[in-house]
Structures are given as structure tokens and as C-alpha cells.
Structure 1
Amino acid sequence: MTSLKRVTTLLTMIMTISTLNLAVAGEQKLNMPPKGYKALFNGKDLSGWKGLVGSPKTRAKMSPEELAEAQKKADQSMREHWKVVDGVLVFDGKGQSLCTDKDYKNFEMLVDWKIKKDGDSGIYLRGSPQVQIWDPATKAAKGVGSGGLYNNKKNPSKPLVTADNPVGEWNTFYIKMVGDKVTVKLNGKLVTDTVLENYWERDKPIYETGQIELQNHGNTLYFRNVFIKELD
């Protein structure tokens, strides 16, 4: 074998090994939290999650027995419509929101999400709507991107900029909530820095604690790398 052939063969081997190492690293990174964060989704099953029972206002009026019975039915529905496929949370568009089984107060959150054409979704904070997720091309969006606090009336509801990746590609939210203040970055760009209002009880401030919900509007959704860092 000539020296040139040896060098070519060696370079090919190095490139192959590097490619394999990158692939393995990518697989290991999926659903593995960065330092300081905890994984809300383990990449394998729906552990740590529950089905949706009404609103915070509705749940507060239920007796423990009523809530337990309603939760049982909601969990059954959750398992029928939310699945884990290759390390990704997939919603079929036919059920209700997916909720953390724990309530959170102040936190930082990271989450990857993906939608299809005309998709419309969101992430509820402390059980309240919502950090908006949608296809900017829909009639409802009117060109406005994701990441705004869509249900605000007094405070800004639209994102500062449109930072969505093309529909069908993955996007990443960084969400920080302290008190009633919410900061959102979409794909590294600041899109929201304002107050989240109480949608369920407009005359009251946002709840001090509550569950996080992956909300739906009857369309297929995908989530992965769902991480949280509690700030209390």
C-alpha cells in the first residue's frame, strides 16, 4: 500500500470513528438534563405525569374523593393519547393536556417541541394558560410567532420577535417564572419578558404554585428534553 493510500485509509477511519462518537453523544444527550436541572420526562414512559382534571379553580372545589375519581379517569385518557416513541413524547390530538404530577412555584424550564402544519398548542405555567406554540402561518396566528403569553389582556401577549423554526423542525424554549414574571427565549432569542395573568380568575393574581401542562388543540404534538430547575 502506498503512503497516499495509507493516509487516505487512516483519514477515512478517523472520520468514521468521529461520526460514530457524535451519534452516540447525541443519543446520550437526549432527555439527559444539563447541570442544575432535573428531567421531567425520562424518555421511556409517562412516569411523573398525569391527566388533566379541569382547571385550578375547578379542582379547588372538589372533595378529595371527587378529585381522586376524576384523576383516575383523566389518567386513563392520558395513557390512550400520549405515548413515548423513540425518546419523544407524542400526542395524537384526541385527548387532553399532559400534566406534571407535582406543583411548581418559581423555576427555570427547558423543553424542545415540534408541531405539524396548522399546529396550535401551548405550555401552561402553574396550571394557567399559556406560553403559546403554533404555526405562525395559521389564520389565528396572523404571522405572529410562538412564545407569547397568548391569554394576557392587560400585559403584553405577543412575542417580541418571531423566532420559530420551520414547521416540522424542533424548537427549544427556555422559560423562567418568578412570582408572576415570565421570561421566554425561543431558539436562543428573547421573545417574552412580562407578567402572566390569571386566566381562570381575572380578579386575582396568578397562583403561587401549580402544575405544568403540555397543552393541545387537537393536533399532533411532539416534546422531548423537558427539564426543570426549581428556584426556591
Structure 2
Amino acid sequence: MNKTFARRQLGKFASRLRCSTTAIVLLMATVCLSTHADNLPKMTHTRLFNERDLQGWRPAVCCDAKLLTAQDRETLADLATQDMGVHWQAAFGILQYDGAGKPIETERTFGPCRLSFQWKCEPCASTQIGLPGGRSIAIGDAHSDGDGSRASGAIYDGCRRIVKPTLGADSPRGEWNQMMIYVRRNQIDVWLNGRRVAISDEFSTELEGPIRLGGGPAPLYFRNLVVEPLDDTPSAPNPSLP
């Protein structure tokens, strides 16, 4: 009887030991997974437009304010604020430009980033999207000349076009376009409606600045404007759409 009792007790002990070992293994796995997740880089994104008003935006002064007197700067700022309030409006979740105002820009500045947004336009509309570092991307009515020669996506340095779009990927006039722009210190990579339309890696610039929406001769509409931070690693020459 003593031997039978001893075997039973030994069996119970072994069973408890197995359960304890399993619990410890599961606990260690949970801790490892939790630690791994905590160490992963956290990608954050910034919505530039809250779909209600122009909070986070300001008039983009297109002259050297250092050359103006304090009074002139104050007067210019007042006029620019009035212009923004008249010609840029938030309605139905869309940032609307009426075609008669000046550019606006974000109050925040950004470094290397991916800028994504949707836009559409009225006939003969054209403008440039200003990027951190000073370059800009042309968008607008690609069909105004009837031959698609004004395809969106050209890269500009000031008034000089430095990269022409390799193809026309614009949606039909009046339909929404989806644009993604990868901005790095040595590269700008432009995608329109799922197709790469321009890329430039022949320059180097100090990369820090606001996002700017230019004015133009006809109405434009924007929505879902989002900025995500990037590292400075250039894009591959022929990647699939991220």
C-alpha cells in the first residue's frame, strides 16, 4: 500500500511540475513578445486637415519679410489672413480653394516624410505643392490642352522644372486623384494614382520646412492630407507601390 501511495503522490507531483513548467514558458514568451513590440519603431502620422476648419494652417508669405518694416509686416500678415479666410474654406470634409487667393502652409515644419493626399480640380486649374526643403510638385488640370501634356507630378525648384513626369496618370477631370510624395534629403519620389510619375535624386538640400498648398487660376479641392515621418534611405529605382 505504501508503494502505491508513493507512486500516486509522485504522479501528482510530476503533473504539477509539468503545469508549472508550461506556465513559466508561456509567461516568458509573453514577456519576450511584449519586449519585442516595445522595441519596434513606432510610425506616427499627422493629419494636416481636420475636416472642420483651417486650424494648423497659416498664410504663406511669398516675399522676404526681413526686408519689410515691422509695420509693413503686420499689415501684410493681416491682409494675408483675410485672404486665406475668404479663398480657403473647409466644407463637408474637404479643403476648398476658390481659385482667387494666395498660398497657405502648415504651421508645423517637417523633415523627411511621406506626404499623401487626394485632390481634384476644375478646368484650367494648376498649382504647386510646396515640400520641406524648398522643392515643389505641380498638379492641376492635365487635360486643359486636350493632349495630356500638362500631366501632374513635375518636380520644381522655384520656377524651374527639374524633372518632367514620365507618364500621365491623372484621373479624368473632376475625379479624385491620389498622390504620394516621398521627401528625403537626396531624393523626391512622386506617385500618382498608384504609378510612379517622377523621381529625382540629383540634389542635396537641408530638409526642414512646412507643407505648402499653392494658389492658382481655378478651384482646387483637397482631402485626407497626411504626413508620415521617413528615414533618409532613398527609394529603390523600380519598386512596387508601398
Q: Partner amino acid for 1:53?
A: V
Q: 1:48 aligns with which of 45, 56, 70?
A: 56
Stretch of structure 1 that moved more, 43-52 or 145-154: 145-154
Q: Which residue of 2 aligns with 1:230?
A: 229
Stretch of structure 1 that moved more, 153-162 or 60-69: 60-69
Q: 1:190 aligns with which of 185, 196, 220?
A: 196
Q: Give the whole-Å Cα distance in 1 for the aligned partners of 2:80 and 2:106.
A: 13
Is 1:219 aligned with 2:208?
no
Q: Matched residues, percent identical?
A: 29
Distance 1:206 1:138, change over 3 A: farther
Q: Which residue of 1 aligns with 2:99?
A: 93
Query: Which aligned pairs between 1:8-19 and structure 2 lie closer than 5 A?
Result: none
Q: Give the whole-Å Cα distance in 2 for the aligned partners of 1:46 and 1:165.
A: 27
RMSD: 2.9
Structure 1 SS opposite 2:217: coil
Query: Which aligned pairs between 1:26-65 and structure 2 lie closer than 5 A?
Result: 36-55=44-63, 58-59=64-65
Residues 147-167 of structure 1, C-alpha deviation per residue, up to 9 Å, x if partnerless?
Answer: 111458998421121110001
- Structure 2 residue runs of 5 or longer lacking an equivalent are 1-42, 232-242
Q: Partner amino acid for 1:225?
A: N
Query: Which aligned pairs between 1:40-189 and structure 2 lie closer than 5 A?
Result: 40-55=48-63, 58-59=64-65, 67=73, 70-126=76-132, 128-139=134-145, 143-151=149-157, 156-189=162-195
Residues 124-152 of structure 1, C-alpha deviation per residue, up to 9 Å, x if partnerless?
Answer: 11373521112223349862410111458
Q: Give the whole-Å Cα distance in 1 for the aligned partners of 2:148 and 2:157.
A: 16
Q: Partner amino acid for 1:220?
A: P
Structure 1 SS opposite 2:83: helix
Q: What TM-score does the superposition give when structure 1 sets the normalisation length? A: 0.71
Q: Give the whole-Å Cα distance in 1 for the aligned partners of 2:65 and 2:209.
A: 11
Distance 1:153 1:168, change over 3 A: closer
CA contact (8 A) 1:182 1:196 kept: no
Structure 1 SS opposite 2:155: coil
Distance 1:65 1:231, change over 3 A: farther
Q: What TM-score does the superposition give when structure 2 sets the normalisation length? A: 0.68
Stretch of structure 1 that moved more, 91-100 or 206-215: 206-215
The number of equivalent residue pairs is: 189
Stretch of structure 1 that moved more, 60-69 or 140-149: 60-69
Q: Give the whole-Å Cα distance in 1 for the aligned partners of 2:89 and 2:133.
A: 22
Larger of the two Rg values belongs to structure = 2
Q: Partner amino acid for 1:119?
A: A
CA contact (8 A) 2:96 2:220 kept: yes
- Structure 1 residue runs of 5 or longer lacking an equivalent are 1-34, 198-204
1:226 Cα deviation after fit: 0.3
Q: Give the whole-Å Cα distance in 2 for the aligned partners of 1:196 and 1:74.
A: 35
1:230 Cα deviation after fit: 2.2
Distance 1:36 1:141, change over 3 A: farther
